[in-house]
Chains A and B, each alone.
Chain A
């Protein structure tokens, strides 16, 4: 069964700390994996897109990694800020189609 699972479901950290969010998937055939940030009451915003041949991609303080062999991805946030409080969603795209599966997201809260 094609699935995308994210962990943890929720996370609380202090401002300035680093954190890592996980995404495991069983989608096949695989094309690319995306991370989105969704603020409360807003639509998702794209952070990174990685194809199966890419191991890492950065966007400012956000760094995503991908291991296509183990079908795992992580999103690392460095020196967290209050504005990082949001839901982070992992999305996996099927190869050569418009089909995609979203994870249920990780809710991150950053406190001062």
Chain B
């Protein structure tokens, strides 16, 4: 157990659907992250939250909408996705932000398939 739980583990949705990915961390960390991992591509950082405030948004399309209601929970709301959005979406947390040199703890991801 990494202390970071993601649900659902698998999700299949049509391009017109709206769904949400959920991440919960039980480590008492202050920073949380969303990553995208596509086949044969490096991980891409999508969003960074520190103390529930978004501090980084790496030019992610608006069809991905993050939400961080408290320091333990992170959501990624999805709507009108494209087939190229099919990927593994990973959530991570760390005691402080990346620049603090603290290790990140990852969940096991949500495997998303867009039909």
| Chain A contacts to B: CB under 8 angstroms | 4, 31-32, 34, 41-46, 49, 51, 89, 91, 93, 96-105
Contact = CB atoms under 8 A, between A and B. Distances in A.
B20 interface: no
A97 B92 contact: no
Interface in B1-57: 2, 4, 40-45, 48, 55-56
B45 A100 contact: yes
B74 to A, nearest CB: 14
Contact of B2 (A31, A43, A51): A43
Nearest to B41: A104
Given A31-B101, A46-B103, 8 more contacts: A4-B42, A43-B106, A46-B104, A91-B43, A93-B99, A98-B55, A98-B97, A100-B45
Contacts of A100: 45, 98
Contacts of A93: 98-99, 101
Contacts of A45: 2, 106
